[in-house]
């Protein structure tokens, strides 16, 4: 017999936790929260820098501190069952989830479903950068994990591609770890990340930011040796003879995030192929009734505070949907 | 001193196929490879197609060995537990005038011995390949074309050969060969002394399967009659979400130098487009280019218009080792006992098993006493890949061995159990693990799983994390371990 649950939430990051708490407050009982990691908190666990919570808690917290506030709250609610080390591997149109746990593969059918699966980083491949494929090219978030969680230094002479917040935060982190950050290369006319991060992470450390420049080529056989850089004009065309090289052993890619929506896509939810988000007119809704999406999976947010705020709405929607059904 | 009957230089698909074939005889054999793992040369970056033989001149050695290889691969893949999918190919044309070229190709291929060929029309194509351009008017259908994982094939061949007595030396760049007793009369052989970075070996026979460097190895014994020129091919892999893009391999009409840009379906399900064909100088130049990408996209879209640049998740370049038009496979009269297997460009992957048998015959003709082993182990246990299993099978496996339920790479659904298995089978680098298991080969490119794989590899091989490499010395992933500082 298939196990059936009222509300299943996939993802135990800030979005999933906020949705679970708000669904409970709506009167939904029997909530199952699935998280593939060994901890709740999602991406916040590797964001050890301060800068979280100013809007939501009116305090400046680090990522783990921010997550902790929600973890404490959610642990106190017995109606929310938390399953860690539980990876959802498949999702059917009838909201049947296939879940992989240590030593166990099982299926659960949800009456209502909230997906809070976060996002992944865009890679060098997606940015279509020519050249070789040596060791030393990392998505910025992976570098962050290597340094902050594993205590490993990925490289010593770094060029960062793209100027999103993760790239900015990592520029400062590498300098603090004793590495040299030689440049940040941004194709747009202005930095992608928050102004405060540009000031605190680049300017304060004299890291040059090359706006209107792009990486043309990566060199190096085994490990990165250098990058070729070109200046571009207002129309986005390469400026002849503007080509120059920077020697480095590491390239960090900070070229954007992509919502993780492969599971709902499998289930048949309509997806915008450009943004990889659910096609939707309303916050947190999808083309399948009873399937909701929140947090970075719904759209990419700059601030976790807005994730927590908006994701509560998913819990409300799920509550209303279940009331109507029962 | 290590003394062998035969030493094979080069551990690509050709060298490993030869190794496996010869390991069925009572002979003492070694395989020397300069890289840290096998199949890190041309054999890792190709299209993975088992060609039917449709694009070769009827009289060519290439064509004959391709056809034989296509037949042999079926049995070998079954014996070695490597998945081979016979999906068929379509060579498409855009005008009625070009249909005559298809008929000509068909005729040539039939002379060579390719079976099952058929010219199909627009109605057939619409039914069987709905995503093809409406401008395509006809195609030559060759049902015997198929796909395979080239590196999994090479690894399976080598594992099976080791089971049958082959000795493998990696990180063994051949630097020098001394011909000790050049005896000139028919049927006799030489004694060679081979020096590598770390060892000296003696052997009576040498098989030169060094891919791009076969000319340099040949020169070491004084044979200068060919030169290897690298011809680059850039390929672009698409997201698995697009796995239903095509059902067959889609080819344009071939040109003089290549089979053209193909829409491929890889063994893992991802579509792939490419390769380009460009002569280059440098045998190590594996860079891809913006022009290459634009060209491949344009040519692939002409056949399948819905192909989108945004779906590209990986790309690479491979170098075809081109000598002449044809393969060079011969025992050199001037240096008895030295067999060149050179210029093995496309369809070398397909032909490899047939090349191996041909090399066996050449050795016999040149005086080597070859007696079959009674206890030759033909089969290899199939490697488990969780993502290939049905729900009930996966459930059972996970219950018996928890490590198969411990997912490390979630884009490709690869478990810790599979990664440990790959390491036990000989993987020592991250690329080696990727080629065997698909871990890190998906859309996030290792963003989520690299650290975990590094830890498993470090633990299983008893090395620090700082010693873990992408593809051998010099390609270390991290520079310092802060936890080691104190
Ligand atoms: C490097 C970095 C720096 C940042 N800095 C700031 C900052 O300074 N200030 C700020 O306000 N915000 C910052 N943010 C943004 C903020 O952290 C995110 O917006 C927020 O964490 C998004 O929450 P989420 O729950 O949607 O996603 P996540 O935190 O990514 O959570 C998703 C969860 O879902 C789980 N999951 C995914 N798929 C499955 C599955 N199939 N089965 C089970 N579980 C699954 C994941 O394991 C994860 O725990 C930063 C983000 C990053 C990456
Ligand atoms: C882009 C591209 C697409 C292709 N597509 C197909 C296809 O779809 N189907 C098909 O049938 N064929 C295809 N081919 C051809 C096929 O890949 C090759 O024919 C085949 O891989 C050649 O194998 P090999 O073992 O001869 O060479 P390699 O794999 O290069 O093996 C030679 C080995 O020798 C080692 N070596 C070199 N020098 C030394 C030394 N001094 N000491 C020790 N070791 C040394 C190298 O490290 C290497 O591992 C393609 C080729 C390319 C480039």
B18-68 pLDDT, tens digit each: 999 999 999 999 999 999 999 999 999 999 999 999 988 889 999 999 999
User: SS3 of B77, please?
Assistant: helix
Closest CA to A276 of A112, A93, A126, A89: A126
Are B329 and B316 members of one domain?
Answer: no
pLDDT band at residue B189 under the 50/70/90 scheme = low
Domains in chain A with CATH codes: 2-120+257-325 (3.50.50.60), 123-253 (3.50.50.60)
pLDDT of residue B71: 98
Question: Is residue B379 in a domain?
Answer: no
Is residue A283 classed exposed, middle or buried when 0-12, 13-18 and 19+ CB atoms within 10 A define those classes?
A: middle
Range in A127-141, B172-186, B222-236 with the lowest mean pLDDT: B172-186
Q: What is the pLDDT of residues B281-321, one digit of tens each?
A: 999 999 999 999 999 999 999 999 999 999 999 999 999 99
Tokens linked to B145 = 């074309």
Are B233 and B316 members of one domain?
Answer: yes
Measured at the alpha carbon of residue B208, what is the angle toward residues B204 and B209, in degrees to the nearest 5?
A: 140
pLDDT band at residue A122 under the 50/70/90 scheme = very high
Phi, psi of A238 (to 5 degrees): -65, 140
Check the CA dihedral A233-A237-A242-A243 and report its sign: positive
Closest CA to A83 of A91, A74, A92: A74
Are B251 and B208 members of one domain?
Answer: no
Task: Show the domain range for B160.
Answer: 2-43+151-228+324-365
CATH number of the domain that residue B193 is part of: 3.50.50.60
What percent of chain B is predicted at pLDDT more than 90? 90
CATH number of the domain that residue B436 is part of: 1.10.10.1100
Question: Is residue B371 in a domain?
Answer: no
Asked whether B91 and B119 are in contact (CB, 8 A), the reply is no
Q: DSSP of B234-245, one letter per residue?
A: EEEEEPGGGTTS
Q: How many domains does chain B have?
A: 3
Measured from the CA of A296, which atom of ligand 1 is nearest? 26
- Rounded to whole angstroms, the Cα distance separating B29 from B14 reads 15
pLDDT at B190 over 50: yes
Q: DSSP of A76-120, one letter per residue?
A: T-TTEEEE-S-EEEEE-TT-EEEEEETTEEEEEEEEEEEE---EE
- What is the Cα B64 distance to its own chain's centre? 19
Asked if A120 lies within 8 A of B443 by C-beta distance, the reply is yes
CA distance A266 to chain B (A): 9
Is residue A138 classed exposed, middle or buried when 0-12, 13-18 and 19+ CB atoms within 10 A define those classes?
A: buried
Ligand 1 pocket member A259 (CB < 6 A): no
Q: What is the pLDDT of residues B408-462, one digit of tens each?
A: 998 999 999 999 999 999 999 999 999 999 999 998 888 889 999 999 999 999 9
Are B306 and B198 members of one domain?
Answer: no
CA count, 13 A, side-chain hemisphere, B141: 16
Q: What is the pLDDT of residues A19-77, one digit of tens each?
A: 999 999 999 999 999 999 999 999 999 999 998 999 999 999 999 999 999 999 999 99
Question: Is residue B435 in a domain?
Answer: yes
pLDDT of residue B416: 95
Ligand nearest to the CA of A201: 1
pLDDT at B183 over 80: no
Which is higher by pLDDT, B425 or B181? Answer: B425
Tokens linked to B126 = 């619409």
Whether residue B128 lies in the annotated active site: no
Are B447 and B392 members of one domain?
Answer: yes
Which is higher by pLDDT, B445 or A4? Answer: A4
Asked if B290 lies within 8 A of A128 by C-beta distance, the reply is yes
Are B37 and B174 members of one domain?
Answer: yes
Are B260 and B403 members of one domain?
Answer: no
pLDDT of residue B484: 60
Check the CA dihedral B38-B43-B45-B50 and report its sign: negative
Ligand nearest to the CA of B319: 2
What percent of chain A is predicted at pLDDT more than 90? 94
Average pLDDT score over chain B: 95
Biggest alpha carbon–alpha carbon distance for chain B: 75
pLDDT of residue B320: 97
Helix (H) or strand (E) holding A325: helix A304-325
pLDDT of residue A2: 87
pLDDT at B168 over 50: yes
Asked if B470 lies within 8 A of A134 by C-beta distance, the reply is yes
Q: What is the pLDDT of residues A175-191, one digit of tens each?
A: 999 999 999 999 999 99
Are B170 and B187 members of one domain?
Answer: yes
pLDDT band at residue A103 under the 50/70/90 scheme = confident
B302 lies within 8 A of chain A by CB: no
Asked whether B223 and B334 are in contact (CB, 8 A), the reply is yes
Helices first, then strands: H and E counts in chain B: 12, 23
- Rounded to whole angstroms, the Cα distance separating A301 from A119 reads 10
Tokens linked to A284 = 């947190």
CA distance A69 to chain B (A): 25
Are B134 and B159 members of one domain?
Answer: no
Question: A147, A222, A230, A250: best mutation site toward chain B, by most B Cβ within 10 Å?
Answer: A222
pLDDT of residue B486: 43
Question: Is residue B61 in a domain?
Answer: no
Q: What is the pTM of this model?
A: 0.95
Closest CA to B476 of A170, A147, A250: A250
- Rounded to whole angstroms, the Cα distance separating A33 from A75 reads 11
Are B281 and B162 members of one domain?
Answer: no
CATH number of the domain that residue B236 is part of: 3.30.9.10
Nearest CA in chain B to A265: B241
> Which of A8, A47, A164 maximizes ligand 1 atoms within 8 Å of its Cβ, making it the mutation to test the pocket?
A47
Q: Tokens 């990727």 sit at which residue?
A: B434
- Calculate the alpha carbon distances from A13 to A34, A248, A257, B468 in Å: 10, 35, 16, 31
Question: Is residue B249 in a domain?
Answer: yes
Are B167 and B191 members of one domain?
Answer: yes
Strands (E), A172-322: 180-185, 209-210, 213-219, 226-231, 244-247, 250-253, 257-259, 271-272, 277-278, 291-293
pLDDT at B187 over 60: no
CA distance A156 to chain B (A): 7
- Rounded to whole angstroms, the Cα distance separating B142 from B114 reads 8
Are B283 and B215 members of one domain?
Answer: no
Question: Is residue B50 in a domain?
Answer: no
pLDDT band at residue B2 under the 50/70/90 scheme = confident
Question: Is residue B377 in a domain?
Answer: no
pLDDT of residue B182: 57
């Amino acid at each position: 017999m298939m196990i059936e649950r009222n509300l299943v939430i996939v993802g135990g990051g800030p979005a999933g936790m906020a949705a679970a708490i708000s669904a409970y407050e709506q009167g939904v009982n029997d909530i199952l929260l699935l998280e593939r990691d060994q901890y709740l908190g999602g991406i916040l666990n590797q964001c050890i820098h301060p800068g979280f919570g100013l809007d939501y808690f009116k305090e400046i917290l680090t990522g783990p501190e921010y997550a902790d506030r929600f973890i404490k709250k959610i642990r106190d609610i017995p109606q929310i069952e938390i399953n860690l080390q539980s990876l959802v591997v498949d999702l059917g149109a009838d909201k049947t989830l296939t879940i992989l746990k240590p030593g166990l593969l099982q299926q659960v059918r949800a009456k209502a479903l909230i997906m809070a699966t976060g996002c992944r980083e865009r890679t060098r491949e997606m940015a279509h950068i020519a050249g070789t494929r040596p060791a030393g090219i990392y998505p910025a978030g992976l570098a962050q994990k290597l340094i902050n969680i594993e205590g490993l230094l990925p490289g010593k002479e770094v060029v960062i591609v793209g100027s999103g917040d993760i790239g900015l935060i990592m520029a400062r982190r590498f300098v603090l770890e004793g590495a040299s950050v030689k440049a940040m290369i941004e194709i747009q006319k202005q930095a992608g990340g928050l102004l405060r991060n540009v000031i605190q992470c680049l300017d304060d450390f004299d890291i040059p930011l090359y706006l209107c420049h792009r990486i043309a080529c990566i060199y190096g056989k085994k490990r990165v040796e250098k990058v070729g850089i070109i200046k571009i004009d207002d129309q986005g065309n390469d400026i002849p003879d503007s080509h120059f090289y920077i020697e480095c052993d590491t390239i960090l890619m900070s070229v954007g995030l992509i919502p993780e929506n492969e599971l709902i896509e499998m289930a048949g939810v309509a997806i915008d192929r450009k943004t990889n988000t659910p096609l939707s007119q309303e916050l947190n809704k999808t083309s399948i009734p009873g399937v909701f999406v929140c947090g970075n999976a719904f759209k990419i947010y700059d601030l976790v505070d807005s994730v927590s705020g908006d994701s509560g709405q998913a819990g409300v929607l799920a509550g209303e949907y279940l009331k109507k059904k029962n | 001193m290590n003394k062998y009957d035969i030493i094979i230089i080069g551990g690509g698909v050709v060298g490993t196929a030869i190794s496996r074939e010869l390991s069925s005889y009572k002979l003492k054999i070694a395989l020397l490879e300069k890289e840290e793992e096998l199949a890190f040369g041309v054999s890792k970056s190709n299209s993975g197609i088992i060609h039917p033989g449709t694009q070769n001149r009827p009289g060519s050695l290439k064509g004959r060995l391709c056809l034989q290889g296509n037949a042999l691969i079926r049995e070998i893949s079954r014996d070695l537990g490597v998945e081979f999918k016979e999906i068929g190919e379509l060579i498409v044309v855009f005008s009625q005038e070009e249909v005559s070229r298809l008929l000509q190709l068909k005729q040539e291929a039939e002379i060579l011995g390719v079976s099952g060929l058929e010219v199909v029309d627009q109605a057939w194509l619409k039914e069987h390949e709905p995503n093809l351009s409406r401008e395509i008017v006809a195609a030559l259908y060759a049902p015997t074309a198929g796909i395979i994982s080239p590196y999994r094939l090479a690894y399976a061949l080598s594992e099976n050969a080791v089971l049958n007595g082959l000795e493998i030396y990696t990180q063994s760049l051949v630097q020098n060969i001394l011909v000790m007793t050049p005896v000139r009369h028919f049927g006799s052989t030489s004694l060679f002394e081979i020096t590598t970075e770390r060892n000296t070996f003696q052997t009576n026979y040498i098989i030169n399967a060094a891919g791009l460097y076969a000319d340099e190895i040949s020169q070491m014994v004084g044979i200068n009659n060919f030169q290897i020129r690298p011809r680059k091919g850039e390929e672009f892999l698409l997201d698995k979400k697009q796995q239903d893009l095509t059902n067959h391999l889609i080819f344009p009409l071939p040109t003089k130098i290549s089979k053209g840009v193909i829409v491929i379906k890889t063994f893992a399900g991802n579509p792939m487009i490419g390769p380009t064909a460009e002569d280059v100088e440098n045998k190590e130049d594996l860079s891809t280019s913006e022009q290459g990408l634009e060209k491949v996209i344009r040519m692939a879209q002409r056949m399948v218009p819905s192909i989108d640049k945004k779906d590209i998740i990986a790309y690479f370049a491979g170098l075809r080792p081109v000598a002449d038009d044809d393969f060079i496979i011969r025992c050199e009269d001037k240096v008895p006992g030295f067999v060149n297997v050179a210029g093995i460009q496309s369809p070398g992957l397909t032909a490899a098993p047939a090349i191996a048998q041909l090399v066996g015959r050449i050795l016999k003709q040149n005086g080597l006493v070859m007696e079959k082993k009674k206890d030759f182990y033909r089969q290899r246990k199939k490697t488990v890949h969780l993502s290939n299993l049905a729900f009930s099978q996966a459930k059972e496996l996970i219950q018996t061995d928890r490590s198969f339920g411990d997912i490390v790479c979630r884009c490709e659904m690869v478990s810790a159990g599979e990664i440990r298995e790959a390491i036990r089978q000989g993987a020592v680098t991250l690329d080696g693990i990727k080629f065997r298991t698909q871990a890190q080969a998906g859309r996030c490119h290792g963003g989520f799983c690299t650290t975990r794989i590094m830890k498993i590899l470090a633990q299983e091989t008893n090395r620090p994390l700082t010693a873990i490499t992408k593809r051998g010395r010099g390609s270390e992933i991290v520079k310092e371990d802060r936890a080691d500082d104190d």
